[in-house]
Amino acid sequence: MYIIIIGCGGTGVALAKHLASEDHEIVIVEKDEERAKSLAESMDALVIHGDGSNTEILKDAGIDKADAVVILTRDDNTNLTICQIVKKFNVRRIVARVNDPSKQDLYIGLEITAAISPIAAIVSYFKNAITQERGRSLVSIGKGKAEIMEIRLTNEKLDARKIKDIGLPSDATIGLISRGGEVIIASPETILRKGDLLTIISKTEVSKDVITLLKG
């Protein structure tokens, strides 16, 4: 994939290195001149010094052929502006960093691929690590009203039962099952086995009930 990263702080550098290791073609647009110079010397990527909200800079970065654009500046107004500009180029995947969680709805209104709030995700992760010792929250979604969790099924009473029969709260659903190195797309008819690692989407208010049910 041809991927443009706009605003390359710590998160951008880590992401760029990971993507480059998977043989994706990476272009970095960085507004700070000194940082752009440093990145050009240390990264296996094309680095362009310039403002990512400038259409000409985006064209220099190859926006016309980009498969994805990741927008990671620390200013939400800048990110929102860049999202609107990038959409005009019909880029298939647009992912933006949300710095202020209260502004997440503004990003969602743009109908981009994803709007990710590191602050909300970290708060959710730590909160669940503290209060929900038997389940692992992967990410907070819906402004903290829902989350994606991984839970190991240890309740022997649920072994060999169909998902539709275990009494899962209506505001939770099992999406994936990892079993013996295989991944199973879950359905109401799927039979659970003790030891399954379940990926669950749940409203935060019922997450404790889900954990209690599956752990026993």
- The predicted-structure confidence for 41-54, as pLDDT tens digits, reads as follows 999 899 999 999 99
160 CB burial (10 A radius; 0-12, 13-18, 19+): exposed
Q: What is the pLDDT of residue 49?
A: 97
Q: What is the pLDDT of residue 116?
A: 86
Q: What is the pLDDT of residue 140?
A: 67
Q: From the centroid of its chain, how far is CA 186?
A: 21
Same domain, 146 and 93: no
Tens of pLDDT, residue by residue over 5-27, are: 999 999 999 999 999 999 999 99
Structure token pair of residue 81: 């502006």
Write out the residue range of the structural domain in which residue 112 sits.
Answer: 2-116
Q: Is residue 23 part of a domain?
A: yes
d(CA 216, CA 213): 5
What pTM does this model have? 0.67
CATH of the domain at 69: 3.40.50.720
* Site of tokens 């990512």: 52
Same domain, 112 and 147: no
Tens of pLDDT, residue by residue over 185-196, are: 999 999 999 999
Q: Is residue 16 part of a domain?
A: yes
Same domain, 13 and 62: yes
Same domain, 25 and 73: yes
Same domain, 30 and 110: yes
**Above 90 in pLDDT, residue 135?**
no
Q: Is residue 128 part of a domain?
A: no
Same domain, 19 and 61: yes
Same domain, 108 and 40: yes
Q: Is residue 205 part of a domain?
A: yes
Averaged pLDDT, 166-171: 95
Averaged pLDDT, 167-178: 95
CATH of the domain at 157: 3.30.70.1450
Domain boundary residue, one of 116, 144, 179? 116
Q: Is residue 127 part of a domain?
A: no
Averaged pLDDT, 136-156: 79
Q: How many domains does the chain have?
A: 2
Same domain, 143 and 69: no
85 CB burial (10 A radius; 0-12, 13-18, 19+): middle
Same domain, 100 and 9: yes
Average pLDDT for the chain: 90
Structure token pair of residue 105: 């709805």
Own/partner long-range contacts of 154-158 (Cβ < 8 Å, ≥24 apart) = 154/194, 154/195, 154/214, 154/215, 154/216, 155/194, 155/213, 155/214, 155/215, 155/216, 156/194, 156/216, 157/216, 158/192, 158/194, 158/213, 158/214, 158/216
d(CA 91, CA 146): 28
**Above 80 in pLDDT, residue 138?**
no
Same domain, 6 and 111: yes
**Which residues partner with 184 through β-bridges?**
177
Same domain, 149 and 194: yes
pLDDT band at 94 (very low <50, low <70, confident <90, very high): very high
Q: Is residue 167 part of a domain?
A: yes
Same domain, 142 and 112: no
